[in-house]
Amino acid sequence: MHEAKIQSTFLDKCGIWISSLCAVHCLVLPVTIAVLPAVASTFFAQHWFERAILLASLCLGGIAMGIGILRHHGRKKPIYLLAAGGLTYWFKDSLGHDLEPVLVLIGAVLIIAGHTLNMRLIRRCKGCSKKATVDTATAAESASY
């Protein structure tokens, strides 16, 4: 069971890194474009690249938080934070160009907060071994029917 905790927190840490890199990418890119016009024509400035990074972050976060919810703590707040951050980030363009950096920052902070909360809940989980044993026994019973 200790291995499952390590695996889940590793995924959360990866999610935090991806979300952080995504936020840095979006916040630094306008400055970089002003300084280095050549960057604007690369894939870093493409809308599809931003969406791909966000989708990777949300998929990784969904897996990490799903493991946390199902195997460890059973609380849904981390995945709600992930979803709120993802939606905020996805629709960052909807309130105008001026608010885009603010919405990127809010979205990234919400995603990182979801991962951080998930890691803390996993670390605090005291009944994980019992819960995993019960879940395994229940799955074995239902498979035998």
Query: Coil, helix or strand for 46?
Result: coil
User: Half-sphere exposure of 122 toward its Cβ, with a 13 Å CA cutoff?
Assistant: 28
Cα(139)–Cα(118) distance, integer angstroms: 24
Sign of the Cα pseudo-torsion (40, 44, 45, 48, in order): positive
Distance of CA 139 to the CA centre of its chain: 28
Residue 10: pLDDT band by 50, 70, 90 thresholds?
confident
Residue 97: pLDDT band by 50, 70, 90 thresholds?
confident
The domain limits of the chain are 2-133
Identify the residue with better confidence: 42 or 117. Answer: 117
Q: Convert the pLDDT of each residue in 103-143 to its tens digit.
A: 988 998 999 899 999 989 988 877 665 444 444 444 444 44
Cα(9)–Cα(12) distance, integer angstroms: 5
Q: Convert the pLDDT of each residue in 59-94 to its tens digit.
A: 988 998 998 888 888 999 999 999 999 999 899 888
Residue 28: pLDDT band by 50, 70, 90 thresholds?
confident
Task: Render the burial of 29-67: b for 16+ CB within 10 Å, e for the rest.
Answer: beeeeeeeeeeeeeeeeeeeebeebbeebbebbbebbeb
25: pLDDT strictly greater than 80: no
